[in-house]
């Protein structure tokens, strides 16, 4: 019996378009240029921030992030950044008695902004707040602590195989691969991803159907 649903953030709940567009504007390159490079480095198994380092060799991404925040041009999230199915799906899960947790690789500021949207979730936490990031096993240990349920009673939902599907499965959790956003579509039919995922979803509203599994 599934008791807890844990969801990733980027390209699961929130579109990342604004995030990367703001970085492109900050470093002075066309938005499409950075978008293409982010896709390229991620499909090579690299850190998305490597796209920034390619365009600006030697760039200290953390320092640049802090400079953006200090300038007032830092991270921003509002209702328009959420996928349309987020509120109905999460609200529906809670009505069915599930615990809903949001946990992903984001900054503390992103966590603050997401909590400010008052989502129907029991907990919203980020990798920076926890001090450990995916795909590290310790991140999924924190996921299980936040879940309050056993591994086989907890489902982790995400779109990225390396950051979501494989490490969550290795931690003993059940896994739902969400086929949307650049990563979900890129690996949608990959045989290893298909084999690792307990469920394959095209919408978060499909989560309600797995609670009784």
Give the H or E element holding residue 175: strand 174-178
Instruction: Domain ranges for the chain, please list them.
Output: 4-15+78-210, 17-71
* The domain over range 4-15+78-210 is classified in CATH as 3.40.50.970: no
Q: Which residues, 6+ apart, have CB-to-CB distance to 44 below 8 Å?
A: none
Contact 156, 176 (CB under 8 A): yes
**Above 80 in pLDDT, residue 212?**
no
In angstroms, rounded to a whole number, what is the distance separating the alpha carbons of residues 188 and 202? 10
Task: Using alpha carbons, select from 82, 87, 112 the residue that is nearest to residue 15.
Answer: 82
Per the prediction, the chain carries an average pLDDT of 93
| Edge-to-edge strand list for the sheet holding 123-126 | 123-126, 99-104, 4-7, 154-158, 174-178, 199-201
Residue 21, Cα to own-chain centre: how many angstroms?
A: 18
Residues making up the chain, counted from first to last: 213
Helices (H) and strands (E) in the chain, counts: 11, 6
Secondary structure E strands in 38-122 = 99-104
Q: What is the DSSP string of 109-131?
A: HHHHHHHHTT-S-SEEEEHHHHT
Contact 104, 10 (CB under 8 A): yes
The pLDDT score that the predictor gives to residue 189 is 85
Per-residue model confidence as pLDDT tens digits over 118-163: 999 999 999 999 999 999 999 999 999 999 999 999 999 999 999 9
Per-residue model confidence as pLDDT tens digits over 24-37: 999 999 999 999 99
Burial (0-12, 13-18, 19+ Cβ within 10 Å), 53: middle
- Residue in the block written with tokens 């604004």: 18
Q: Which residues, 6+ apart, have CB-to-CB distance to 74 below 8 Å?
A: 65, 68, 109
Per-residue model confidence as pLDDT tens digits over 76-110: 999 999 999 999 999 999 999 999 999 999 999 99
The neighbour count for residue 52, using CB atoms within 10 Å, is: 24
């Amino acid at each position: 019996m599934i008791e807890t649903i844990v969801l990733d953030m980027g390209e699961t709940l929130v579109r990342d378009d604004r995030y990367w567009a703001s970085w492109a504007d900050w470093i002075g390159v066309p938005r499409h240029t950075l978008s293409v490079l982010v896709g390229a480095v991620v499909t090579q198994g690299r850190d998305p921030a490597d796209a920034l380092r390619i365009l600006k060799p030697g760039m200290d991404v953390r320092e640049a992030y802090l400079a953006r925040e200090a300038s007032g041009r830092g991270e921003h999230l509002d209702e328009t950044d959420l996928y349309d199915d987020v509120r109905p799906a999460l609200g529906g899960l809670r009505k069915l008695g599930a615990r809903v947790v949001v946990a992903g690789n984001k900054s503390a500021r992103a966590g603050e902004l997401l909590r400010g949207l008052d989502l129907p979730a029991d907990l919203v936490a980020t990798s920076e707040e926890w001090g450990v990031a995916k795909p590290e096993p310790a991140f999924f240990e924190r996921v299980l602590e936040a879940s309050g349920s056993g591994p086989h009673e907890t489902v982790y939902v995400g779109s990225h195989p390396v950051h979501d599907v494989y490490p969550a499965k290795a931690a003993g959790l059940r896994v739902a691969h969400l086929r949307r956003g650049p990563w979900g579509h890129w690996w949608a039919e990959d045989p290893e991803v298909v084999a690792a995922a307990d469920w394959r979803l095209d919408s978060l509203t499909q989560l309600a159907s797995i609670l009784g599994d």
